[in-house]
């Protein structure tokens, strides 16, 4: 479903409209259904209340009529015969006449003052017990009518209610001569209350409430008479209003099943469904038309965008068909494509101009590169030629100096020593210049082989100590137990490391240690640290130590000698071997030069 909707905006708009309609209609239908249901339930509740009131009033009317009648009958003149025991049976005949005249469904009983049964409308059988006033009918001190609620007839096995009234003599209204009792069958009471359309419960107030009658049987168990507890929602209950009188403690409840009342709501649900479908069809048609109408400009814009993407032509335009937001979008898109078209034309012209400038610049770069290469080669040839030309006269000058020593007797030896020292310095400078020229030149011609770096450094240290035997105890070499092999040129590596070692010994006073440490690091390189305890150099000079002919202190350099290219040669040699060299001051004084060179796979 989501894949179907995601392919088209009109489908999503239509689906949104339909979803909004369905949600709105369902909410409205739910409100209507709830309102109708509540109205029906409330209407039935009121009707049941009125029905309970009607049943209660009918029952009260019957009971009050009977009470009025029995009270009037107790005051008849014939009742004076109770004193004589109704010898002539006038009381019995009167009771029978009253039962026939009023159509009584119960019986009348007349008892004398001592409680003996004098007369009754009930047919007495030989098996019946002797007639005495039952204990439950004794009036005790009552002076008026008393209604005995639902109980068993003492003279017959059936449920009744009884009206009891004291009988006073007409000759003396204060003299009680007997008791008159009217029984009323309970079945007749139930007939007054029960109906086939609704359930009925007759209760008597008290603690607890006493259910006198219920139809259908067992329905009273579903009714909660405690007002503090929630009612059973499956039942609709209408209760009579409590009143005063002989039935003031009685209450009639009319009940009906909620499902029976709400059964008619099925028609409401069906009508709501039909109405929803009837309203949904035009909304669906209108929504489809509206979605297509709204998305047509977007589809046209999509077509033009796809055409531009496929052909790279920016001359396509979107037709403007309205002045609304979609029309504004189309006009903005057309202005954008016009700007892009102009920018593309300008960019193409700029690219063509740039290509021409690039071609010109490339030609100039090539020419300048050739000039630089020629200048560098000329410089290298010049340095090599100068070095070569210097070495030949120096050699001849050295020979001549030796002959002069042999033939001259009057010249002081110190002058010859001075001349020999200067010749050695110039010869060393020429040798270093030749080395530097060879490193700047054809590096590819340098031959590489495996070199045991630990052994090479040990030889360099041994040579340095041999030349300065007094410094034998000043040099400390720290190396690993296993050999470390690098691929390189042994002569160049010797020259590079030897320059640093000789500098460290030269600038360190006697009896001051010089440490040379060799170790493998985690990056697959061998590290050679040469540390001295000399004066060190300023922090600003550390970055320039490896520049050709750089001197930290010109005055000091003139005193100590040196060509100023030893560290430069070291840096060039290490770079030629793929390594690096750097210098840092030692603490508290001195200088540390660290050389890193890649090791061969065998050593790693």
Q: Is the pLDDT of residue 393 over 80?
A: no
Cα–Cα distance for residue pair 14/4, rounded to 1 Å: 12
Strands 514-520 and 475-478: parallel
As a whole-number percent, the residues of the chain with pLDDT over 70 amount to: 80
Cα–Cα distance for residue pair 138/179, rounded to 1 Å: 9
Q: Is the pLDDT of residue 108 over 80?
A: yes
Q: How many residues does the chain have?
A: 604
- The pTM of this model reads 0.48
pLDDT of residue 442: 45
At residue 98 the predicted structure's pLDDT band, cuts being 50, 70 and 90, is: very high
pLDDT of residue 515: 93
- For the residues of 455-490, what is the DSSP string, one character each? HHHHHHHHHHHHHSGGGGGGEEEE--SS--EEEE-H
- Compute the mean pLDDT over every residue in the chain, rounded to the nearest whole number: 81
Is 115 buried (19+), middle (13-18) or exposed (0-12) by CB count in 10 A?
middle
Cα–Cα distance for residue pair 437/390, rounded to 1 Å: 15
Q: Which structure tokens are listed for 550?
A: 């750089």
Task: List pLDDT tens digits, range 527-551.
Answer: 999 999 888 888 888 888 888 767 7
Per-residue H/E/C for 399-443: HHHHHHHHHCCCCCHHHHHHHHHHHHHHHHHHHHHHHHHHHHCCH
Closest of 510, 528, 517, 507 to residue 472, by C-alpha:
510
At residue 179 the predicted structure's pLDDT band, cuts being 50, 70 and 90, is: very high
Q: Is the pLDDT of residue 556 over 60?
A: no
Task: List pLDDT tens digits, range 13-52.
Answer: 777 778 888 888 888 888 888 888 888 888 888 998 999 9
pLDDT of residue 76: 92
Q: Which structure tokens are listed for 252?
A: 């009639």
pLDDT of residue 67: 92
b/e sequence 500-532, b meaning 16+ C-beta within 10 Å: bbbbbbebbeeeeebbbbbeeeeeebbebbbbb
Chain mean position to CA 349:
53
| Domains contained in the chain, CATH given | 1-313 (3.30.450.20), 444-598 (3.30.565.10)
Helix, strand, coil % over all residues of the chain, rounded to 5: 55, 20, 25
Cα–Cα distance for residue pair 3/121, rounded to 1 Å: 92
At residue 78 the predicted structure's pLDDT band, cuts being 50, 70 and 90, is: very high
pLDDT of residue 136: 83
Residue spans of beta strands (DSSP E) within 48-171: 108-112, 117-120, 146-152, 159-169
- DSSP character at residue 158: S
Name the strands in the sheet holding 580-585, side by side, starting at the edge strand that comes first in the sequence: 475-478, 514-520, 525-531, 591-598, 580-585
Chain mean position to CA 505:
70
Chain mean position to CA 573:
61
Cα–Cα distance for residue pair 479/500, rounded to 1 Å: 17
Task: List pLDDT tens digits, range 397-450.
Answer: 666 667 666 666 555 565 566 666 566 656 665 566 556 556 665 444 678 889
Task: List pLDDT tens digits, range 210-259.
Answer: 888 888 888 877 787 766 566 667 788 888 888 888 888 899 998 888 88
At residue 284 the predicted structure's pLDDT band, cuts being 50, 70 and 90, is: confident
């Amino acid at each position: 479903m989501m894949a179907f909707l995601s392919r088209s905006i009109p489908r999503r708009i239509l689906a949104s409209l339909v979803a909004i309609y369905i949600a709105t209609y369902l909410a409205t239908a739910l409100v209507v259904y709830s309102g109708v249901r509540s109205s029906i339930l409330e209407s039935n509740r009121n009707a049941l209340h009125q029905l309970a009131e009607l049943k209660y009033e009918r029952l009260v009317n019957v009971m009050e009529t009977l009470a009025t009648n029995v009270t009037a009958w107790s005051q008849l003149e014939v009742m004076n015969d109770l004193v004589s025991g109704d010898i002539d049976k006038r009381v019995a005949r009167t009771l029978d006449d009253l039962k026939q005249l009023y159509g009584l469904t119960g019986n009348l009983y007349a008892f004398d003052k001592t409680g003996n049964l004098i007369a009754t409308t009930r047919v007495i059988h030989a098996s019946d017990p002797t007639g005495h006033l039952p204990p439950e009918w004794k009036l005790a001190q009552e002076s008026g009518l008393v209604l005995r609620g639902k109980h068993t007839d003492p003279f017959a096995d059936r449920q009744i209610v009884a009206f009891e009234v004291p009988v006073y003599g007409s000759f003396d209204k204060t003299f009680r001569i007997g008791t008159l009792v009217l029984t009323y069958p309970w079945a007749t009471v139930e007939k007054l209350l029960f109906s086939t359309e609704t359930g009925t419960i007759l209760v008597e107030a008290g603690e607890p409430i006493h259910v006198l009658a219920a139809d259908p049987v067992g329905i009273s168990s579903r009714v909660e008479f405690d007002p503090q507890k929630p009612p059973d929602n499956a039942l609709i209950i209408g209760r009579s209003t409590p009143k005063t009188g002989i039935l003031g403690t009685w209450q009639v409840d009319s009940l009906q099943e909620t499902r029976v009342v709400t059964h008619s709501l099925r028609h409401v649900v069906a009508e709501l469904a039909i109405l929803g479908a009837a309203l949904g069809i035009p909304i669906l048609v209108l929504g489809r038309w509206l979605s297509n109408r709204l998305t047509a400009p977007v589809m046209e814009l999509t077509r033009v965008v796809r055409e531009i993407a496929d052909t790279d032509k920016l001359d396509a335009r979107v037709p403007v068909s309205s002045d609304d937001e979609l029309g504004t979008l189309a006009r903005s898109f057309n202005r954008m494509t016009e700007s892009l078209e102009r920018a593309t034309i300008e960019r193409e012209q700029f690219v063509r101009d740039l290509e021409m400038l690039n071609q010109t610049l490339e030609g100039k770069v090539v020419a300048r590169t050739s000039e630089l290469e020629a200048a560098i080669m000329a410089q290298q040839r010049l340095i090599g030629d100068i070095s070569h030309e210097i070495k030949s006269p120096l050699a001849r000058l050295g020979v001549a100096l030796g002959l002069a020593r042999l033939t001259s007797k009057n010249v002081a030896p110190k002058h010859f020593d001075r001349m020999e020292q200067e010749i050695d310095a110039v010869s060393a400078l020429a040798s270093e210049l030749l080395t530097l020229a060879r490193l700047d030149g054809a590096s590819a011609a340098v031959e590489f082989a495996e070199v045991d770096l630990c052994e090479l450094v040990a030889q360099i240290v041994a040579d340095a100590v041999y030349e300065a035997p007094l410094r034998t105890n000043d040099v400390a070499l720290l190396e690993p137990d296993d050999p470390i092999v690098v691929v390189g040129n042994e002569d160049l590596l010797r020259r590079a490391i030897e320059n640093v070692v000789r500098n460290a010994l030269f600038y360190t006073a006697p009896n001051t240690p010089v440490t040379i440490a060799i170790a493998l690091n985690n990056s697959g390189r061998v590290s050679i640290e040469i540390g001295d305890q000399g004066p060190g150099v300023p922090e600003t000079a550390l970055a320039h130590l490896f520049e050709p002919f750089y001197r930290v202190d010109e005055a000091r350099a003139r005193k100590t000698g040196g060509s100023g290219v030893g560290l430069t040669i070291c840096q060039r040699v290490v770079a030629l071997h793929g390594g690096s060299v750097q210098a840092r001051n030692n603490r508290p004084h001195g200088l540390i030069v660290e050389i890193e060179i890649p090791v061969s796979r065998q050593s790693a």
